[in-house]
Structure 1
Amino acid sequence: MDWAGWALFGLVATVALTATSITAQMAGLTRLDLPLVLGTIVTEDPDRARVIGFFIHLAAGQGFALGYAAVFAMLHRATWWIGALLGALHVAIALTVLLPLLPGVHPRMASHRAGPASTAVLEPPGLFALNYGVQTPTVTALVHVVYGVVLGLLLQAR
């Protein structure tokens, strides 16, 4: 396995995914602000949360990049289309399992069961993160597929 490639290209792909997600959020395509969601697990301050959340997402992206690189190594090839398939699988799990479970562990996120007495500052994402806008699943899927394509192309070039 190309460890230097995994480390560098995982970082590049994760920064690209995060920057594209933030751009889509700022353009009004989605209300999902993943650095804020992740950072508010650690701190209440929204400005600090975004910075901390960016680095949490960067670390998670490196972990996922390691998984992608392991799959490429098992298959003895890295291609853009295998990366795209892995990105589609990644986003399917994120939207149907990880994000809907987040209210159960996030100290500042409401759940669907919390009711009006909740003091949580973040709304739950819901299935496919639709609570953050109808375009959120599409935007999220697109950036994760691009993440996989970038990893497949960069690791293939090595």
Structure 2
Amino acid sequence: MDWAGWALFGIVATAALTATMISAQMAGLTRLDLPLVLGTIITEDPDKARVVGFFIHLTAGQGFALGYAAVFALLRRADWWIGGLLGALHVAIALTVLLPLLPGVHPRMASHRAGPASTATLEPPGLFALNYGVQTPAVTAVVHVIYGVVLGLLLQAR
């Protein structure tokens, strides 16, 4: 496996995924602002949170890219369709496990059990992040599958 390729391509794929998610949010396809959600774990200021959150997501994406590269290394092949399947698995875990658990650890996110006295500034994503819009699962799935496809193609080409 080309580990230098992983380092470069992981950042490229994650930056593209994050930019696409931000663009989808700005286009009104979803209300999920992932850099804001991640950044507000660290800071209350929404403008600073978006910058911090972008880098948190970039770091997490690099970790996931390492996982993808490890799977490709174990399989002794990197193909676009294997990357796409890994992207589908990745988004399934994110939408059904990671995002629904986030209110339990996020200091500025309400939970489904939060009452009217809650001072949380972010609403919980809910299962499949549906609280951020009905198109959110589809947008999120498409960009994560593309992330996997891109990693499969780029790591295959090396």
Normalising by structure 1, we get a TM-score of: 1.00
- 1:92 aligns with 92
- 1:5 aligns with 5
Do residues 58 (structure 1) and 58 (structure 2) align?
yes
Percentage of matched positions with identical amino acids:
90
- Partners of 1:20 and 1:129 lie apart in 2 by 17
- 2:145 aligns with 145
- Partners of 1:144 and 1:110 lie apart in 2 by 26
Letter in 1 for 2:148: G
TM-aligned CA deviation for residue 49 of structure 1:
0.1
- Partners of 1:16 and 1:153 lie apart in 2 by 14
> Which consecutive unaligned segments of at least 5 residues does structure 2 have?
none
- 1:115 aligns with 115
- 2:131 aligns with 131
Moved over 4 A (4+): none
Letter in 2 for 1:114: A
Residues 30-66 of structure 1 deviation map (CA, whole Å, 9 limit, x = unaligned): 0000000000000000000000000000000000000
- 1:74 aligns with 74
What's the Cα RMSD here?
0.3
Letter in 1 for 2:80: W
- Partners of 1:139 and 1:21 lie apart in 2 by 8
- 2:30 aligns with 30
Letter in 2 for 1:95: L
- Partners of 1:62 and 1:11 lie apart in 2 by 6
Normalising by structure 2, we get a TM-score of: 1.00
- 1:104 aligns with 104
- Partners of 1:24 and 1:85 lie apart in 2 by 22
Letter in 1 for 2:16: A
- Partners of 2:20 and 2:114 lie apart in 1 by 32
Number of positions where the alignment pairs a residue of Structure 1 with one of Structure 2: 158
- Partners of 2:43 and 2:12 lie apart in 1 by 26
- Partners of 1:61 and 1:8 lie apart in 2 by 12
